[in-house]
Structure 1
Amino acid sequence: MSGTVWEGVALGRLRAAPDPDSPARAIALPLAWGEEEAAALAALAPGSGPILLPRLVEGWIGTLRERGRKLGILGDAAEADRFAEALRALLLDRRGAPGAGIWRGETRGQPRFVLNLPAFLDQEGGFDSADYAAAVAIGVRALDIWTGAKAPRLALGFADLAGLLAGLGLAYDSAGGRAAGAAIAALTRGAAEAESGRIAERLGAREPVALLAPSPPAATLVPGLAAAARAALDAAAGCAGLRHQGLVALATPDAVERLLGAESGGLAPASGPSRLMLDRDGWVAELPTRAALRAGPAAERLLAPVPHAAWLAMAQAVAPFLHAAPPLPLAEAAPARPPAPAPAPALAPRPSGAVWRASVGGHRVVLRTTEDAAGQPVELAIALTKEGAAYRSLMEAMMQAVSIGLAAGVPLATYVDAYAYTRFGPAGAVDGDPAIRQATSVLDWAFRKLAREYLGRLDLPDPDEADCAPDAIGRAAEQAPLLPLDLPEAPAPRVRRRQLKLVG
């Protein structure tokens, strides 16, 4: 790797897994990258052993370089070296990379190449159209080489349009945002078709140049973007012929978008200015997104969730410059006929809330509430950092159900009575909460905490250690009798086990 960009890259080592249920792998990657990028590499790299990023990347770059020379797409060794170095630079700058199939060496399926739009923001707050057009050309060439110069259609796309617009100070649901999105798509198509024309000059044209093409926006609020899009389309129109029927296609994101730092796929809107993720201490915390950090004080306005109609409007503006329809969210359900009963009341405004962190039986838990104007909880969320994906999903779904009930008017006290002292692991000592020292489960701690904070209830004492043991079956008074018989006095669990006899 001497003489390449790798020579000046300092590497560090992390352990990461593609998901919480998979074993962690040792990963060597640039020091500036973090755990999120390491997890993405764990998902992209084949096998289950250690990962050295330069070696992994040079594997598919070397394949592209060799195939390109044999196919004649890369003319000589010098051109092949420049192509390889351009691919390395795109990845290290987190501007673009091939899809998961190329990382894994897969030959089946349609390969893809992704460009991370916010990475092309320049220091003056504009968009680097020249570098972006060059990156598009590199991506087209890489895809054509990987497919053996035989595929009539390629899949080059971009990611995180919402993050780019926020960085440019444009609202997603605005005429200026849609014009910028259309110009980006037009620039992508023009640069891709121009590269297809250059490949056709070497290998022969297979497709004619389109005589009628959509016109890009005449002007945008981004300096130079409309002119760059127009120039790229004009360059494509001047080709003698094209090599491909289609080139620009957006796809459902995979681990590559995560590796590049893209926070939304394709032209999808942002989900908000913050996200839940692990902080340096391993706790789940609500942190600003990369787009929010770029947008600064305007983040709340620029990254607020938008209605379904805004997504459709953006798709209509961008779609004429794509060679395949963009993936869209599921359509909103039509109203029932005859009209259904009135829906549950909408959640009240949530100006505030609370966050509590604790450790139950050695497992870290974060409980979050959002409150209405009266200071009462209207939504609950819980996060666990050590449990499996199925367990975490079940807990999240349960809290979502409770939130729906609160919005429909179910008293919080009803849930407290139902879930306080429920028994399942993890259970035991509670650290980080001076008011609650023992809990029989995560739900026990959470709902007794809510009872103290919002209902002022001090009548829910801590269980003893025996109640928190894995084999505890509860006091007799807490168990519903199967027959209408008087219950004996409640013996300790250990005494009860001594009274059992095995017969057979």
Structure 2
Amino acid sequence: MTDPDDSALRSVTLPAAWDDEAAQALAQITLNGGPVRLAAEAARWVDTIDACPPLPGTPANTPSPGRSLSYLLLMQQMAPNTALWQCQPDQTPGFTIRLSSFVQETGFAAEHFVACLRLACDALRRLHAATRIERTGELPLFDLPAKPEDEAAGLVLLTDLDACLAALGLDYDSDDARNAACAMAALTTTVARAGTKLPPPSIPESPLSGLRTLASSVCAAEEGRHFCPIETGFSSPAPTEGLLGVETCGLAPAFSPLREDGHLRASTLARLACRGLTPESALALALAGETPLPPVRPQAQAAMHAAVKNVVDFLPAVPEPDLADLQAKLARGVRRPLPMRQTGFTQRAAVGGHSLFMRTSEFEDGTLGEISLTPPRESPMARGLMDCLGHAVSIGLQYGAPLEAFVERFAYTRFGPAGTVEGDPSTAYATSMLDYAFRTLSEAYLGEHMPDAPRVEPSSEDPAPMLPFGRGSGESPEWKDRGRRLKLVS
């Protein structure tokens, strides 16, 4: 396999059930070059955790967490982040947990999930207690050091939420799915805060039964302890997701039912099975013009983000809602034709003594669809530029570009003549013809009056010309007599 950032070939040894993306992720997070073996690379951070002494109050017969962590990694249920994998003392160590791996035929394996969470929290707290002096850069001068139980010991992130919901028979964009995601995230934070000073979040009602009872038992078991808190959240794109073989990162939905190799995703097969469909019957419905699986709305991820934001500490950036709405509503590549008989207005004005004719054409609903800008007394180059600009803006308007974007870009532009505006009482001064034209369009079609820009007075003293095109009064006699000494030679 190869590292995407390295042109050299590298040999990667890992379990046969893992795919090529896991091999690429392993090569990416491995610092040294040459052949890479999963067992050897994982042994570094596993041995580091096993070398840490157990926490105070741990039973004497409790085994070291390294062996269990190795098993969870082989089953692709939990993996360390890059900071822990590479043993970086200046970064926050953490684990990423794949939610879909805890779904069984009987439902969500909540007890196994909590056991993995407690194992990850115990390993991070051991590592934090053993390396706290190395990780902090504070000097014991005159300030009192912070209490160890007040510092965050690490980070536990959840991923592959969409595949987990699909395996549970829940649509991503549904109230049951959002309640289930919030319940799993709240259970994660409850386990991470058990035995600390931070209060646990409340677990909402959800299709997953027994989570509240399980959370209460965890809090009762850790009562009276003085642990460091563990921060929780949903993951962002990182090589750890490749190691775990997730379908989607963090809480993001799968916007395509297919994998990169063209096969159906596991979440797609699960949702088809929940509807009583096979891949063949779903294909027949698709060929008949029906949609066996409705696509996910662009607003679904934002709704999921809002559902879990109060029960975790970290969340990836939510997609921009305005951009999502624009992408969903704008018809790409479809031009809106203007009517054969068009309405609009024609405006004649002068900016700094330079005439300008502006004509507009409107769609049936009265919105702007075309403009024409003509400076009749300017040079051919200036007239051509203004004409091309009018055509470009008109094409953009007819393809769905908002007029607000053009007004924001061209208003108060300094290009060409500027000065007092004549012929339009609503505008007294303009920095250019473009400034006047687009501020006029803003008032006519957007209902927004844009004030005049501050006047820029011309300089009282004109600079000296760069070339001697003119001859002033201070010309030397030598310059005056130079033409008399020229002779015509035949």
- Matches of residues 75-114 of structure 1 in structure 2 within 5 Å? 76=60, 79-81=62-64, 83-114=65-96
1:247-266 paired onto structure 2 within 5 Å? 247-266=231-250
Number of the residue aligned with 2:440:
none
Instruction: Give yes or no for the alignment of 1:51 onto 2:41.
Output: no
The residue aligned with 1:217 is 204
- Say whether residues 1:191 and 2:191 are aligned partners: yes
Contact 1:270 1:303 (8 Å CA) reproduced: no
Identify the residue that residue 264 of structure 2 maps to in structure 1: 288
1:47: how far off? Answer: 0.8
Equivalent position to 1:130, from 99, 108, 111: 111
Pick the aligned partner of 2:102 from 120, 123, 127: 120
Structure 1 CA distance for aligned equivalents of residues 17 and 217 of structure 2: 39
Cα distance in 1 for residues equivalent to 2:292 and 2:318? 20
CA–CA distance in structure 2, aligned partners of residues 33 and 287 of structure 1: 16
User: Match of 1:268, SS?
Assistant: coil
Q: Distance in 2 between matches of 1:67 and 1:302?
A: 53
Q: Which residue of structure 2 aligns with residue 352 of structure 1?
A: none
Q: For each residue in 1:143-181, what CA deviation from the matched residue of structure 2 results, as whole angstroms up to 9, or x when unmatched?
A: 223333647222101101111001111011111101111
Residue 346 of structure 1: how far off its partner (Å): 4.1
AA aligned opposite 1:183: A
Q: What SS does the aligned partner of 1:33 have?
A: coil
Helix, strand or coil for the counterpart of 1:169?
Answer: coil
1:345 alignment partner in structure 2: 331
Corresponding residue number in structure 1 for 2:166: 166
Structure 2 residue matching 1:131: 3-state secondary structure: helix
Task: Answer yes or no: is the 8 Å Cα contact 1:270–1:305 preserved in 2.
Answer: no
- Choose which of 52, 58, 61 in structure 2 pairs with 1:67: 52
Contact 1:273 1:304 (8 Å CA) reproduced: no
Is the 2:248–2:254 Cα contact (8 Å) retained in structure 1?
yes
**1:162, 1:134 → 2: CA distance?**
22
Equivalence for 2:428:
none
- Other-structure match for 2:454: none
- Distance verdict in 2 for CA 1:347–1:178, change over 3 Å: farther
User: Which amino acid is 1:269 matched to?
Assistant: P
Which structure has the greater CA radius of gyration? 2
The equivalent of 2:447 in structure 1 is none
Label 1:164 to 1:236 Cα distance change in 2 as closer, same or farther (>3 A). Answer: same
TM-score (norm 1): 0.54
The answer to whether the aligner puts 1:231 opposite 2:221 as a matched pair is no
> In 2 relative to 1, CA 229–264 (structure 1 residues): closer, same or farther, beyond 3 Å?
farther
Contact in 2 for aligned 1:165/1:172 (Cα 8 Å): yes
Aligned to 2:271, the other structure's residue is in SS state helix
Q: Is the 8 A contact 2:301 2:319 kept in 1?
A: no
Deviation at 1:242, TM superposition (A): 4.3
Q: 1:252: Cα distance to partner?
A: 1.5
Among 326, 331, 340, the alignment partner of 2:315 is: 326
Cα distance in structure 2, aligned partners of 1:18 and 1:229: 44
Cα separation, 2, equivalents of 1:179 and 1:287: 30
Deviation of the 1:232 alpha carbon: 0.9
Q: Secondary structure at the match of 2:41?
A: helix
| Corresponding residue to 1:270 among 247, 254, 264 | 254
Counterpart contact for 2:18–2:245, Cα < 8 Å = no
**Residue type of the partner of 2:331?**
P
Displacement after TM superposition at 1:304 (Å)? 5.4
Q: Mind listing any 5+ residue stretches in structure 2 that lack a counterpart?
A: 133-147, 283-290, 335-395, 401-490
Asked if 1 retains the 8 angstrom alpha-carbon contact of 2:198 and 2:229, the reply is no
Which amino acid in the other structure matches residue 293 of structure 1?
Answer: L
- Distance in 2 of aligned mates of 1:67 and 1:335: 48
* Residue number in structure 1 paired with 2:304: 314
Following TM superposition, by how much is the alpha carbon of 1:216 offset from its aligned partner in structure 2, in angstroms?
Answer: 1.4
Q: 1:320 to 1:242 in 2, by over 3 A?
A: farther
Q: Deviations over 1:356-415 (max 9, x none)?
A: xxxxxxxxxxxxxxxxxxxxxxxxxxxxxxxxxxxxxxxxxxxxxxxxx9x969xxxxxx
Specify the SS of the correspondent of 1:157: strand
CA distance in 2, matches of 1:112, 1:22: 30
Q: CA 1:325/1:103 → structure 2, altered by over 3 Å: closer, same or farther?
A: closer
Aligned-pair CA distance for 1:61: 0.6
Structure 1: how far apart are the matches of 2:112 and 2:213? Answer: 16
Question: Of 196, 213, 224, which aligns to 1:240?
Answer: 224
- Residue 438 of structure 1 aligns with which residue? none
Offset of residue 42 of structure 1 = 0.7
Cα distance between partner residues in 2 of 1:326 and 1:122 = 27
Decide whether aligned partners of structure 1 residues 291 and 334 sit closer, same or farther in structure 2, where only a CA change above 3 A counts.
Answer: closer
What is the aligned residue count?
302
| Partner residue, 2:443 | none
TM-score (norm 2): 0.55
Instruction: Rate the CA distance shift 1:344–1:179 in 2: closer, same or farther, 3 A.
Output: closer
Write the letter of the residue equivalent to 2:263.
L
**Cα distance, 1:28 vs. partner?**
1.4
Match of residue 19 from structure 1: 4
CA contact (8 A) 1:208 1:241 kept: no
Deviation at 1:136? Answer: 0.5
> Aligned AA for 1:290?
A
Greater shift, 250-259 or 176-185, is seen at: 250-259
| Aligned partner of residue 97 in structure 2, secondary structure | strand
Deviation sequence 1:79-103 (CA, Å, 0-9, x none): 344x222101111111001111211
